[in-house]
């Protein structure tokens, strides 16, 4: 009785629905039952279906052990409505399934849900300023000048560059990025980051890119308090004061006396009911309808907790600021209530954690069609949010840094070399003017030789260099710039003049070998015996 793990991707809710239906039909035990003095073959009671399906869902890694029996009954109601099951009289189409001894059976074929076909839409290609784009209403002759000074030492350090074949460089003056340009950069890079984390080839079938508002992303990143909670510009979209006071009361329990609230038996239950009623009557879930598939797709990464948190961080940046603020305050309250051991029971039939999930899961995530496994998927998501809300509702630092670096890069002035691996960034543009091809060839041939000749003279006249070091540098220079070296030393004789040969000292006579050098040679006595 195993569920295969359905990873992130489009139509994940539909895939889970179809797989659950197939497992239920294939493995649900069927037997003979009697009802009103009549026997029915290959059927099951409602209670038996709830028992078996509840165990299947709790053991599945796609749903988890948080699934309740009540949620299982809700799923079986949808099975009956969609003709996955029918009663023994063949009736179906209504959600009147109850956890009792009523008999049900499988129809000859249970229809699987087809994958929805979304209309294909063209991708909006975002056009950013390119290197080759000239600045608007600016000619290259009028660009401000800042000369670049380079001494002979810097030239020498770059001796590996063949100066005789210097590649043509071109100054690229970045035009001013508009607010729309910056917003499009934030939108495109955020969606690209989400696509990379989910491991998808495209986001088209997960969310409608046209509905993603870049202003929401930027607001959620920068307009936050010290606690990381979004600050709204439009105060009319704030939580009502009475709801916020009720949430603070339960989140800070038992210090609600500081808020001057009346205390009586069951007071905390009434406060909780007030909060639940407000969130239960929202027109749209906090995670919005159009992001339902995106969040459900992220649920496929729960086996890789770090990646799932990162994907949830990015998805939550796409929310409207008012929704993100309400979600932050709600999750903080839910987590504090669950961790508060002094909190009285808010419901007699459920534990505090189960109550939080069942009460608020539907106002956080649900589908617009309401025929998917939205209750189970929402419970799974809310459980994960409660355990990791502090990390999930943070701004992903890696994404923010990469986008800010990209915007800063596009605002700089660049020097571009064809085929270069990187660009050299200057704080201010240098002067460039158009010249004729003849002048360019002349400058390429002779203009670069002057600093090289000065460099060569500096090496020659450097008194601090020993003859050995000077010969080594000259040999290196000759190998790198033979034309300049040949012009300075046209003949070997001219090169030899730089290092004149020192006169060799005459060998001294071995005066000590002669006892009396001015006397005629006398034969000494032999030592031979």
Q: List b or e across 292-323, with b for residues whose CB sees 16 or more CB atoms inside 10 angstroms.
A: bbbbbbbbbbbeeeebbbbbbbbbbbbbbbbb
Please state which CATH number belongs to domain 12-105. 1.10.10.10
Handedness of CA 235, 236, 241, 245 (dihedral sign): negative
- Quickly state the pLDDT bin for 502 (edges 50, 70, 90): low
Mean pLDDT of 429-442: 64
Model pLDDT, residue 370: 64
What the block records as the tokens of 511 is 């005066």
- With a pLDDT cut of 70, the percent of the chain lying above it is 74
Write down the architecture of domain 181-404 according to CATH.
Answer: Orthogonal Bundle (1.10)
- pLDDT for 430 equals 43
- The predicted-structure confidence for 260-289, as pLDDT tens digits, reads as follows 555 778 888 999 999 999 999 999 999 999
Q: In what order do the strands lie in the sheet with 170-172?
A: 170-172, 413-416, 424-426
Q: With a cut of 70, say whether residue 84 has pLDDT above it.
A: yes
Question: How far does Cα 156 stand from its chain's mean position?
Answer: 43
DSSP assignment of 365-429? S--SS--SSHHHHHHHHHHHHHHHHHHHTS--HHHHHHHHHHHHHHTSEEEE-TT-SSPEEESSP
Question: Buried b / exposed e across 498-508, counting CB within 10 Å, b at 16+?
Answer: eeeeeeeeeee
Distance separating alpha carbons of residues 430 and 145, to the nearest angstrom: 5
* Residue 195: predicted pLDDT: 92
Give yes or no for a contact between 339 and 252, defined as CB atoms under 8 angstroms apart: no
34 phi/psi in degrees, rounded to 5: -115, 140
Quick check: 228 pLDDT over 80?
Answer: yes
468: DSSP letter:
H
Question: CB-based contacts of 412: which residues, under 8 Å, 6+ apart?
Answer: 174, 425
Q: Which two tokens stand for residue 477?
A: 């220079």
- Report residue 253 as tokens: 């329990």
How far apart are alpha carbons 483 and 481 in whole angstroms? 6
DSSP code of residue 224: B
Give me the pLDDT at residue 266, please: 84
Distance CA 412, CA 383 (A): 46
Indicate the pLDDT class of residue 144, thresholds 50, 70 and 90: very low
Structure tokens at 458: 């500096």
Model confidence at 145, pLDDT cuts 50, 70, 90, reads very low
Q: How confident is the model at residue 140 (pLDDT cuts 50, 70, 90)?
A: very low
Q: Sort residue 259 into left (φ over 0), alpha (ψ -120 to 50) or beta.
A: alpha
| % of the chain residues with pLDDT over 90 | 31
Helix/strand/coil (H/E/C) assignment for every residue in 170-183 = EEECCCCCCHHHHH
Name 433's bridge partners. Answer: none
Which tokens sit at 104? 């049900």
Give the span between the Cα atoms of 288 and 512, in whole angstroms. Answer: 111
d(CA 522, CA 517): 11
Residues of the chain with CATH 1.10.555.10: 181-404
Phi, psi of 523 (to 5 degrees): -75, 130
pLDDT at 467: 82
Phi, psi of 84 (to 5 degrees): -75, -35
Highest mean pLDDT among 132-146, 209-223, 249-263, 411-425: 209-223
Select the more confidently predicted residue: 147 or 283: 283
Of 139-148, 249-258, 435-444, the least confident: 139-148
pTM of the full predicted structure? 0.63
Confidence of residue 414 (pLDDT cuts 50, 70, 90): low
Please list the residue range(s) of the chain that carry CATH number 1.10.10.10. Answer: 12-105
What tokens does 173 get? 């003056």
pLDDT tens for each residue of 461-490: 888 888 888 888 888 888 888 888 888 888
User: If you average pLDDT over residues 364-392, what whole number do you get?
Assistant: 85
List the single range of 22-31, 67-76, 169-178 with lowest mean pLDDT: 169-178
Question: Residue 423, Cβ neighbours under 10 Å: how many?
Answer: 15
């Amino acid at each position: 009785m195993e569920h295969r793990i359905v990873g992130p991707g489009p139509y994940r809710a539909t895939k889970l629905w179809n797989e659950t239906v197939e497992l239920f039909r294939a493995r649900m035990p069927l037997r003979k039952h009697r009802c009103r003095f009549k026997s029915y073959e290959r059927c099951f009671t409602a209670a038996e279906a709830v028992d078996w399906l509840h165990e299947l869902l709790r053991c599945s890694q796609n749903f988890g052990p948080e699934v309740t029996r009540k949620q299982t009954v809700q799923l079986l109601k949808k099975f009956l409505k969609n003709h996955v099951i029918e009663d023994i009289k063949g009736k179906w189409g209504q959600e009147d399934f109850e956890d009792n001894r009523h008999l049900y059976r499988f129809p000859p074929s249970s229809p699987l849900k087809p994958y929805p076909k979304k209309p294909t839409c063209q991708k909006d290609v975002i056009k950013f300023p390119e290197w080759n784009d000239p600045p608007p209403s600016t000619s290259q002759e009028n660009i401000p000048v800042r000369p670049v000074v380079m001494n002979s030492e810097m030239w020498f350090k770059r001796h590996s560059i063949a100066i005789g074949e210097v590649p043509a460089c071109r100054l690229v003056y970045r035009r001013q990025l508009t607010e729309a340009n910056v917003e499009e950069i934030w939108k495109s890079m955020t969606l690209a980051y989400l696509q990379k984390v989910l491991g998808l080839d495209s986001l088209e079938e997960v969310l409608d890119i046209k509905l993603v508002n870049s202003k929401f992303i930027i607001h959620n990143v920068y307009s936050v308090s010290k606690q990381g909670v979004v600050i709204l510009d439009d105060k009319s979209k704030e939580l009502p004061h009475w709801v916020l006071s009720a949430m603070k009361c339960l989140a800070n329990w038992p210090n609600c006396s500081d808020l001057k609230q009346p205390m009586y038996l069951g007071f905390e239950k009434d406060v909780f009911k007030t909060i639940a009623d407000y969130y239960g009557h929202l027109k749209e879930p906090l995670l919005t309808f159009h992001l339902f598939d995106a969040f459900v797709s992220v649920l496929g990464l729960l086996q890789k907790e770090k990646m799932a948190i990162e994907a949830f961080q990015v998805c939550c940046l796409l929310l409207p600021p008012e929704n993100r603020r309400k979600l932050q305050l709600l999750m903080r309250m839910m987590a504090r209530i669950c961790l508060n051991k002094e909190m009285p029971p808010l419901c007699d039939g459920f534990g505090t954690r189960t109550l939080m999930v069942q009460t608020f899961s539907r106002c956080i995530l649900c589908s617009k069609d309401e025929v998917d496994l939205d209750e189970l998927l929402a419970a799974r998501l809310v459980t994960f949010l409660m355990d990791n809300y502090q990390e999930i509702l943070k701004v992903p630092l890696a994404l923010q840094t990469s986008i800010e670096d990209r915007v800063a890069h596009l605002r700089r002035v660049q020097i571009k070399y064809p085929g270069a691996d990187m660009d050299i960034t200057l704080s201010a543009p240098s002067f460039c003017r158009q010249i004729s091809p003849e002048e360019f060839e002349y400058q390429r041939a002779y203009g670069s030789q002057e600093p090289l000749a000065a460099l060569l003279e500096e090496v020659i006249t450097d008194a601090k260099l020993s003859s050995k070091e000077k010969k080594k540098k000259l040999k290196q220079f000759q190998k790198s710039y033979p034309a300049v070296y040949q012009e300075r030393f046209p003949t070997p004789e001219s090169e030899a003049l730089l290092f004149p040969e020192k006169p060799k000292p005459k060998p001294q006579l071995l005066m000590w070998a002669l006892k009396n050098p001015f006397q005629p040679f006398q034969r000494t006595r032999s030592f031979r015996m």
